[in-house]
Chain A
């Protein structure tokens, strides 16, 4: 503590004691109290404490945990059952022309790590019951900013707004009395959100790929690619499987072991690398930048590069398990668009990450397994 401030200046005049002062200045005391109360109230309002109906990322995770029958401690609140992957990405000259992102710049292999997962919140769900798979990636060019993405094998998303996503989670929550979602609530939700009904129809028409290797994954959301000359294009992209397409009948799936999708991936990568082409779809003016709406099939496609996955490994401390695949971790050359979903995903993933990292975690369903070259 500085010595000098212990010295006191001589008093200009005698000041009464504090209690007397406060009694003599009731209005001033009231004014000070009002200033402090208003500041505290403003802080509480900004934090959403005075408006509990305003959707916060905590509301989202609370609702998702409730819909899942409670949190699965230590696991992601969605896409809980997964496995870590590694490999590399090589960009094309066409990709380089469309985005100045470092991953496309050199045409040299860029280090990639990531995670394959199934979308359900139950980390021990049977693979045969899972309908949605995802690919999460970190592309880390040497000496340049990394790019994270979390993309799905679905034809678009079931909603276009965070509000609709939340309403869908609430409508899907099992009724405590029956243990099942209330069909009336889901009917009411679908009546209000025809985009979800349209998505479910597309899902019904979709043929599910046999496994992670044969599957293709869509960015779902729209992003902006910024070209080296500054030109900005609204795009979506797909990691298009190079593996020949294959599918399994429901009967075959049901007869397979609980982790067959992961076992198949391990077996496949043990034989050699698996590859995808990254195909960007360019929006035309007027195309809806809403995740539930599919763009017309005739839109221009650009081959951005090739992804190679040559290593698979069970989740463990320090690898992909401890990474938040925040879809707004974007390098220069890729920017968020006015699609509102990635912003909400970023905020909600952050809460999921915070909760799970503070919990103790059981080993993942597919534990202590690996295949392919060590990265």
Chain B
């Protein structure tokens, strides 16, 4: 493996890989739970709410960390369209990691449903009970989740492109 001259700080790497695992798990739990009627349904929904809030807290920490510890530079010879794609996709990922838990929380609030995480911790409603608002937010949650999955695939593909084809410092800088 190339020893990177520029590497993400340890906290950045920890946050990245922890959130990578959580976000990927959330996408699969989310699509799985809405398509099942089995006894796993309730457990999946419960885990989904808890992880969602964990992601919301972690992404807030991560944004602050990013402002304090900026990422290492991209390879100097990276074509400019790839630089733009990289930066844009990173900000889209940040935006979605904030938006999905907030829309999820807001949607449960608008449904008038109790919002329970970790089995017994009750969160307050962040929006008024409003069925029409729920319907909009519920659909938004699905659209944003699919967008997040697509962005994740692009991110994974790009990481593998850097690691296997360009063989540059991008992946080593994050491991």
Contact = CB atoms under 8 A, between A and B. Distances in A.
Interface string B111-125: 111101000101000
A148 B122 CA distance: 16
Given A46-B32, A347-B41, A31 B164 contact: yes
Contacts, number: 155
A204 interface: no
Interface string B85-114: 001000100000000000000000001111
A9 B75 contact: yes
Interface stretch (B12-20, B53-61, B130-138): B130-138
A35 interface: yes
A4 B70 CA distance: 7
Interface residues of B, number: 58
A145 interface: yes
Q: How many residues of A sit at the interface, in one of the four size bands?
A: 35 or more
Given A18-B79, A322-B131, A329-B113, A39 B156 contact: yes
Interface in B14-62: 27-28, 31-32, 34-42, 45
A3 to B, nearest CB: 8
A4 B87 CA distance: 12
Nearest to B150: A40
B153 A39 contact: yes
Interface string A309-347: 000000001100111101011001000101010011011
A17 B165 CA distance: 11
Nearest to A342: B42
B38 A32 contact: no
Given A18-B82, A328-B42, A2 B71 contact: yes
A324 to B, nearest CB: 6
Contacts of A348: 37
A162 interface: yes
B131 A9 contact: no
Contacts of B129: 318, 322
A29 B134 CA distance: 43
Contact of A353 (B5, B87, B111, B157): B111
A78 B100 CA distance: 31
A162 B27 CA distance: 26
Given A46-B31, A145-B114, A322-B129, A336 B42 contact: yes
Contact of B135 (A7, A9, A162, A357): A357
A21 B71 contact: no
Nearest to A40: B153
B135 A329 contact: no
Interface string B142-175: 0000000100010011001100111011000000
A14 B120 contact: no
B9 interface: no
A345 B47 CA distance: 19
Which of A12, A348, A357 has the most B CB atoms < 10 Å from its CB? A357
Given A32-B160, A36-B157, A1 B135 contact: no
B124 to A, nearest CB: 13
B74 interface: yes
A8 B135 contact: no
A43 B37 contact: no
Nearest to A329: B114
B28 A42 contact: yes
A55 interface: yes
Nearest to A37: B153
Given A9-B5, A15-B166, A32-B160, A347 B36 contact: yes
* 5 A-B pairs closest in CB distance: A8-B76, A358-B135, A47-B31, A48-B35, A322-B131
9 contacts: A9-B76, A9-B169, A28-B165, A317-B131, A332-B120, A343-B37, A353-B134, A357-B111, A357-B132
